[in-house]
Amino acid sequence: MRKFLILNGYGAGASASVSRATAFFKSSWPGEVPERCLLLCPDEATASGLAGRIPWSRVTAIVKKIYDPEPILGLLARDTASDGLYIFGDDPDSAGLAARLYGRCGGSACIGVCAAEEKNEKLFLRKRVYSHHMEARFLAEKLPCFAALAKGLPTDGETENGPSTPEMIVLEDEDTEKEIIFQEDGDGDSLETAKLLVAGGNGAGGPEGLACLQELAACMGAGFGVSKPAAMGGWAPLSSMIGISGTLAAPELCIAAGVSGAAAFFAGIEKSGAIIAINTDPEAPIMGHADAVVQGDYKEILPELIRLIRQDRSLL
Amino acid sequence: MKILCLFKTEPDLDILPEKEWQPDENLRIETVFLPSIWNCFDESALAMALQLRKESKDISLSALTVAPPAGETAMRTLYALGFDNCVRLDPGGTDLRFSPEWVAELICRYCEKAEGFDVLLLGQQSAEGNNSLTPALCAEKLHVPCISRVTELHCEDEQTLSVSYACNQGLTRRRISAPVVLSVGNAQISCLPVPTLKAKMTLGKKPVERLAYGDLGLTEDSAGEYTGLGLMDLEPVSLKRATRRITGATPEEIAEKLYTEYIRKALEEGQ
Ligand SMILES: Cc1cc2nc3c(=O)[nH]c(=O)nc-3n(C[C@H](O)[C@H](O)[C@H](O)COP(=O)(O)OP(=O)(O)OC[C@H]3O[C@@H](n4cnc5c(N)ncnc54)[C@H](O)[C@@H]3O)c2cc1C
């Protein structure tokens, strides 16, 4: 089975995503070298910067200012190897590309792969299913196989070989009538790296209910995130959503109040060093998954906590 | 503009107690007794379709689900909310959890039978299978573009939509001409309105169009041929930590314990 890496160099998280993908490859196939690494990049400088993070030499960059899967798909589908395993990065655009390429070329596909294993020339892939309650192990019964990685896999540390010049294929941005407006995607990336995190949810009952959580986050210098219902309700920016559909955070300490801790949310805080949960319902899932749990109304406890932190800080 | 919404109601997995997450010998989890809820992404897609209908009267709205008869309850709500046509495709005994290829084939065959749609609108992933493949597979089978992670839709004219979507480069908006497949992600429009009782009593009684595999020229046996992955094993994910209950007579006392035992240290380390 020949293995290829297809990595997306668009967006602020590209460098970390490339590191996670190379780390995944090295840990899954120690000592092996991928047949080729393809980097999709907005410009040549990004391509050579990211190529420097890839520990192998056969790197080709497809350069196009604005990401558009259609021409890239055309290029990739043209010479897909029938015995190939195509490993895509952990970003959503890569998952979309893997799915489309599978639709075009056939074989098999798995989105959200957290582990891979080759045994007796058979390829097994693991991923979380059932809203992250279960982990499934699949056999890729057909090749080529298009596998996009799960979010939150470990990185390689700071592998930096210095900029290198990959082979470049430059695609023109077609002159379309399409109106394209980019807006900054908020601070999802800063939540990913926050050392301290305060998270709220549906238990807040509305944006006003989040105020004391936001105040706590501000006085701790912590990131502030919310569960899906709170983000969908517009109580906080979408970019502050935590969980499988949002950011996977890994803070040293996470305070989660007014969130049930459903598996899809919990996946976003499960890598926390310590988790404190405050919930009125002793049966809420988070009450069995946190390090310290308080059964109670966070709206009564947090003002006291804020007072203590401020008091202590004023003594510094 | 003819819009086909594809949706699924699914068991509310969040309320299944931890000890019940044990697969049987067929690697299935018993969920039949759990209440059904809209898949959250599909619900956004359905709500967006209704929003589009408000913007233009020239839009026809159909909804298709591949589900056993219980799936028709949701369709009564959709009729009451103004959908023109609701179709249920009976899956028989097929295990659809990890068969997005089969589901996509059914959808595309239905599209052909219904003489095409301008827009296919559906959520990005289901809870059980978490496959994240159906929208892309439909687009490829129908040879039309696919926009993923759609967050907002507006009608520009008879054949054009203004589509906002998330991508690695940020939030993007562009005009898209039909035909197109739109896969809905984290959209701010996330809840279907509640239909009035009157609408439920009148519109909600419209008959659901029922189809079987045979109506689409397929048989149940062929489902397996479409799948590329075989499920070998299913294990519960363990999230357990050594949990400590923090109690106190007053909120002050609890806050004090949390602060001295956990938070102060973390704040000091963070400085
Ligand atoms: C495919 C898929 C993907 C998903 N992705 C995500 C995701 O990325 N992120 C995400 O968050 N969810 C996601 N979900 C939804 C997820 O399954 C849950 O529905 C969601 O996390 C519940 O959010 P919640 O805990 O805020 O709300 P609820 O389940 O309503 O819980 C609110 C909690 O607050 C408690 N509470 C109420 N009042 C108070 C109070 N005053 N003080 C203390 N506690 C109080 C209640 O006891 C309850 O436990 C996804 C679902 C699916 C199907």
Residue A204 to chain B, least CA–CA distance (Å): 18
Cβ neighbour number for residue A107 with a 10 Å cutoff? 20
Residue A66 binned pLDDT confidence (cut-offs 50, 70, 90):
confident
CA of B137 to the centre of ligand 1 (A): 30
pLDDT digits (tens, 9 = 90+) for B159-207: 999 999 999 888 889 899 999 999 999 998 889 999 999 999 998 889 9
pLDDT value of residue A57? 87
Instruction: Indicate whether A184 belongs to any domain.
Output: no
Evaluate if residue A315 carries a pLDDT over 60.
no
Rg (alpha carbons) of chain A, rounded to whole number? 22
Q: What is the domain extent for residue A233?
A: 196-315
Tell whether A81 and A209 lie within a shared domain: no
pLDDT value of residue B196? 94
Tell whether B25 and B92 lie within a shared domain: yes
Q: Which of B105, B130, B171, B269 to mutate to test the interface with A (most CBs of A within 10 A)?
A: B130
Tell whether A144 and A237 lie within a shared domain: no
pLDDT value of residue A177? 46
Evaluate if residue A124 carries a pLDDT over 90.
yes
Chain A 87-146, residues with CB within 8 Å of chain B CB atoms: 91-93, 95-96, 99-100, 102-104, 106-112, 124-125, 127-142, 145
Q: What angle do CA B28, B32, B37 make, to 5 degrees?
A: 110
Residue A26's identity, in one-letter code, is K
Tell whether B248 and B271 lie within a shared domain: yes
Give the nearest chain B residue to A188 (CA atoms).
B170
Counting every residue written for chain B, the total comes to 271
pTM above 0.90, yes or no: yes
Conformational region of residue B222, where left means phi above 0, alpha means psi within -120 to 50, and beta covers everything else: alpha
Instruction: Indicate whether A181 belongs to any domain.
Output: no
Q: Are B170 and A182 in contact (CB under 8 A)?
A: yes
One DSSP character per residue, A187-214 reads: THHHHHH-SEEEEE-GGG-SHHHHHHHH
Evaluate if residue A185 carries a pLDDT over 80.
no
Instruction: Indicate whether B236 belongs to any domain.
Output: no
Tell whether B220 and B245 lie within a shared domain: no
Tell whether B87 and B211 lie within a shared domain: yes
pLDDT digits (tens, 9 = 90+) for B118-136: 999 999 999 999 999 999 9
Per-residue pLDDT averaged across A42-61, rounded? 92
Between A285 and A173, name the one with better pLDDT: A285
Per-residue pLDDT averaged across A48-70, rounded? 91
- Which residues of chain A lie closer than 8 angstroms to B15, CB-CB? none
Taking the Cβ of residue B238 and every Cβ of chain A, the question of whether any pair is shorter than 8 Å is answered with: no
Tell whether B42 and B130 lie within a shared domain: yes
Q: Where are the beta strands (DSSP E) in chain B?
A: 2-6, 9-11, 36-38, 60-66, 85-89, 119-123, 146-157, 160-167, 170-177, 180-184, 209-211, 229-236, 244-245
Instruction: Indicate whether B53 belongs to any domain.
Output: yes
**Which CATH number belongs to the domain containing residue B173 in this structure?**
3.40.50.620
Beta bridge partners of B172: B165
Q: Are A271 and A152 in contact (CB under 8 A)?
A: yes
Average pLDDT, chain A: 91
Q: Are A277 and A261 in contact (CB under 8 A)?
A: yes
Q: Are A287 and A267 in contact (CB under 8 A)?
A: no
Per-residue pLDDT averaged across A168-196, rounded? 72
pLDDT digits (tens, 9 = 90+) for B74-98: 999 999 999 999 999 999 999 999 9
pLDDT value of residue B256? 95
Cβ neighbour number for residue B70 with a 10 Å cutoff? 11
**Nearest Cα to A266, choosing from A187, A152, A178, A167?**
A152
Exposure of A201 in the CB half-sphere (CA atoms within 13 A): 24
Least confident of A52-56, A155-159, A174-178, B199-203: A174-178
pLDDT digits (tens, 9 = 90+) for B217-242: 999 999 989 999 999 999 999 888 99
pLDDT value of residue A190? 84
* Peptide bond preceding B11 in cis form (omega within 30 of 0): no
Question: How many domains does the structure of chain A reveal?
Answer: 2
Beta bridge partners of A225: A199
Q: What is the domain extent for residue B66?
A: 2-226
Tell whether B156 and B189 lie within a shared domain: yes
Tell whether B181 and B269 lie within a shared domain: no
> By three-state DSSP, how is residue A71 classified?
helix
Task: Quickly list H helices, chain A.
Answer: 14-28, 44-51, 69-78, 92-105, 188-193, 207-220, 228-232, 263-266, 298-315
Per-residue pLDDT averaged across A214-224, rounded? 95
Give CA–CA dist A217/A224, Å, rounded.
6
Of B13, B139, B259, the CB nearest to A308: B259
> By three-state DSSP, how is residue A29 classified?
coil
Residues 6+ apart with CB under 8 A from B33: none
Tell whether B179 and B268 lie within a shared domain: no
Tell whether B261 and B216 lie within a shared domain: no
Tell whether A37 and A162 lie within a shared domain: yes
Tell whether A75 and A118 lie within a shared domain: yes
> SS3 helix, strand, coil % of chain A, rounded to 5?
35, 30, 40
Instruction: Indicate whether B169 belongs to any domain.
Output: yes
Tell whether A149 and A274 lie within a shared domain: no
**Which CATH number belongs to the domain containing residue A125 in this structure?**
3.40.50.620
Instruction: Indicate whether B94 belongs to any domain.
Output: yes
Tell whether A163 and A306 lie within a shared domain: no
Tell whether B22 and B109 lie within a shared domain: yes
Question: How many domains does the structure of chain B reveal?
Answer: 2
Contact B98 A138 (CB under 8 A): yes
Residues 6+ apart with CB under 8 A from B37: B9, B10, B11, B12
Tell whether A203 and A156 lie within a shared domain: no
Per-residue pLDDT averaged across A287-307, rounded? 96
